Amino acid sequence: MKKLLLLLLIMFAALGCRAQQALWGAPQIVSPEVHSDNSVTFRLNAPGAGKVQVTGDFLPTMQKDTPYGKFDAPGVADLVKNAEGVWEFTSDALQPELYSYTFIVDGMKMPDPSNVFQIRDTATITNVFLVGGDYADYYKVNDVPHGTVSKVWYDSPTLGMVRRMTIYTPPGYEKGDRRYPVFYLLHGMGGDENAWSELGRATQILDNLIARGEAEPMIVVMTNGNVDMEGAPGETSLGFTPPTTQLPKTMDGTFERHFPDVVRYVDSNYRTIADKEHRAIAGLSMGGFHSLHISKEYPDMFDYVGLFSAAILPREGAVSPIYDNLDGKLAAQFADAPRLYWIAIGEKDFLYDANKDYRKMLDDKGYRYVYRESPDGHIWKNWRIYLTEFVPQLFKNQ
Residue numbers 115-174 binding a second copy by CB under 8 A: 115-118, 120-126, 128-130, 132, 140-143, 145-146, 148-153, 162, 164, 171, 174
Closest CB 340 distance from a second copy, rounded Å: 26
Nearer to a second copy by Cβ, of 19 and 337: the residue is 19
**Sign of dihedral through CA atoms 131, 135, 138, 139?**
negative
Q: Is 319 near a second copy (CB under 8 A)?
A: no
| DSSP symbol at 190 | T
Q: Is 178 near a second copy (CB under 8 A)?
A: no
Q: Which stretch binds a second copy (CB under 8 A): 275-283, 294-302, 307-315, 327-335?
A: 307-315
Backbone dihedral region of 335: left (phi > 0), alpha (psi from -120 to 50 degrees) or beta? alpha
Nearer to a second copy by Cβ, of 132 and 332: the residue is 132
Round to whole Å and give the CA distance between 345 and 141: 27
Residues of 132-153 as b/e, b for ≥16 C-beta within 10 angstroms? Answer: eeeebebbbeeeeebbebeeee
Span 269-298, contacts to a second copy by CB under 8 A:
269-270, 285-286
Nearer to a second copy by Cβ, of 25 and 213: the residue is 25
Closest CB 225 distance from a second copy, rounded Å: 12
Judged by DSSP in three states, 19 sits in helix
The correct pick among 65, 84, 177, 316 for binding a second copy (CB under 8 A) is 316
Closest CB 23 distance from a second copy, rounded Å: 4
Span 22-41, contacts to a second copy by CB under 8 A:
22-27, 30
Cβ-based neighbour number of residue 345 at 10 Å? 27
Round to whole Å and give the CA distance between 362 and 331: 10
Nearer to a second copy by Cβ, of 199 and 305: the residue is 199
Size of the site for a second copy (CB under 8 A): 118
Round to whole Å and give the CA distance between 383 and 381: 6
Cβ-based neighbour number of residue 215 at 10 Å? 23
Stretch 59-78: interaction string toward a second copy, x if CB under 8 A:
-------x-x--xxxx----
Contact (Cβ atoms closer than 8 angstroms) between residue 310 and residue 335: no
Picking from 226, 385, 255, 229, the residue whose alpha carbon sits closest to that of residue 308 is: 385
Closest CB 40 distance from a second copy, rounded Å: 12
352-365 and 326-335 helices, crossing angle to 10°: 60
Nearer to a second copy by Cβ, of 317 and 366: the residue is 317
Nearer to a second copy by Cβ, of 195 and 301: the residue is 195
Q: Are strands 97-105 and 80-81 parallel, antiparallel or unpaired?
A: unpaired
Nearer to a second copy by Cβ, of 46 and 322: the residue is 46
Q: Is 328 near a second copy (CB under 8 A)?
A: no
Q: Are strands 40-45 and 86-90 parallel, antiparallel or unpaired?
A: antiparallel
The correct pick among 35, 70, 179, 315 for binding a second copy (CB under 8 A) is 315
